[in-house]
Amino acid sequence: MSFSMDSFKLDGKIALVTGASYGIGFAIASALADAGATIVFNDRSQESVEKGMAAYKEAGIKAYGYVADVTNEAAVNDLVAKVKEDVGTIDILVNNAGIIKRMPMMEMSAEDFRQVIDVDLNGPFIVAKAVLPGMIEKGHGKIINICSMMSELGRETVSGYAAAKGGLKMLTKNICSEFGEANIQCNGIGPGYIATPQTAPLREKQADGSRHPFDQFIIAKTPAARWGESADLQGPAVFLASPASDFVNGHILYVDGGILAYIGKQP
């Protein structure tokens, strides 16, 4: 069988990227658009959707934006029905929307913990469940769950996030197990530390102008010796969304500059 670079193309495909007005979601959606896909995104507020629409327009991308909170099953089902009406049946889902609450576990209320699990784990379950019937009907589908280093590692202050992202890794493997026979591939991308608004507090300059200690820690812990950029996730996302990865299923592709491979600098 001969190989063709066309297997990376997404022409004619419809991709839903959740929470993609800015940050990682926007970068991934832009790359999928560049590869030929039609982009649909949602965000939880009208303001974010408008901000996103303006950003896509500026980038020369025709995108369809909708307000829908990924934790609201009825709103997500309405979103998928509306997309079917306006654009068509979704071929590619990127479960990107996510939140983090950084606080020591003993200070975290059960309600805060529940909220993180709700957005970061129940959300992907709800959206995947809503798009799967259309994918089954079409005879193919790609689901990419945005996982994290915290799908593998823990650290002080991110108990809810690590529990959710660890769960998302296993949801990925389970969707692969349950729907592989329907020609649906479900994989994860595990970004390392990426410079986005979500991680801005970890990079804030100190009063004396020096770099945040966490910033210095990440540079030292990353063999690539830098924070990732959202753009670092674009190639991996196109690969996992395209026919080039049709026999890759249930895999988490860590895009972390080597953090998970490295024990850390010797003293």
Number of other residues whose CB lies within 10 A of the CB of residue 170:
13
Residue with structure tokens 């005879």? 139
66 is catalytic: no
Any contact of residue 25 with ligand NAP (CB under 6 A)? yes
Any contact of residue 227 with ligand GCO (CB under 6 A)? no
Any contact of residue 236 with ligand NAP (CB under 6 A)? no
Instruction: Please tell me the count of residues contacting ligand NAP according to CB under 6 A.
Output: 30
Segment contacting ligand GCO by CB under 6 A, of 4-12, 34-42, 128-136, 142-150: 142-150
Nearest CA to 192 out of 146, 245, 156, 160 is that of 146
For ligand NAP, give the closer residue by CB, 140 or 226: 226
Binding mask 71-90 for ligand NAP (x = CB under 6 A): x-------------------
The one of ligand GCO, ligand NAP, none whose footprint includes residue 245, by CB under 5 to 8 A per kind, is none
For ligand GCO, give the closer residue by CB, 134 or 167: 167
The Cα–Cα gap between 229 and 25 comes to 12
Any contact of residue 14 with ligand NAP (CB under 6 A)? no
Any contact of residue 155 with ligand GCO (CB under 6 A)? yes
Determine the longest span between alpha carbons in the chain, in angstroms.
Answer: 61
Q: Is the dihedral of CA 48, 81, 71, 73 positive or negative?
A: positive
Nearest CA to 31 out of 230, 258, 254 is that of 230
Any contact of residue 222 with ligand GCO (CB under 6 A)? no
Give the bridge partners for 142, in sequence order. Answer: 92, 185
For ligand NAP, the binding residues in 129-188 under the rule CB under 6 A are 146, 148
The Cα–Cα gap between 193 and 165 comes to 14
By CB under 6 A, name the one of 40, 76, 80, 119 that touches ligand NAP: 119
Nearest CA to 186 out of 149, 152, 141, 151 is that of 141
Any contact of residue 96 with ligand NAP (CB under 6 A)? yes
Segment contacting ligand GCO by CB under 6 A, of 37-45, 53-61, 189-197, 234-242: 189-197
> What letter does residue 122 receive in the DSSP assignment?
I
For ligand GCO, the binding residues in 167-186 under the rule CB under 6 A are none
Edge-to-edge order in the sheet of strand 14-18:
63-67, 38-43, 14-18, 92-95, 141-146, 184-191, 252-255
Any contact of residue 101 with ligand GCO (CB under 6 A)? no
Instruction: Please tell me the count of residues contacting ligand GCO according to CB under 6 A.
Output: 13
Beta strand spans in the chain (E): 14-18, 38-43, 63-67, 92-95, 141-146, 184-191, 252-255
The one of ligand GCO, ligand NAP, none whose footprint includes residue 45, by CB under 5 to 8 A per kind, is ligand NAP
By CB under 6 A, name the one of 100, 171, 176, 186 that touches ligand GCO: 100
Segment contacting ligand GCO by CB under 6 A, of 79-87, 149-157, 175-183, 204-212: 149-157
Torsion of the alpha carbons at 147, 148, 154 and 155, rounded to the nearest 10: -140
Q: Residues in the site for ligand GCO, rule: CB under 6 A?
A: 100, 102, 148-150, 155, 158, 161, 191-193, 198-199
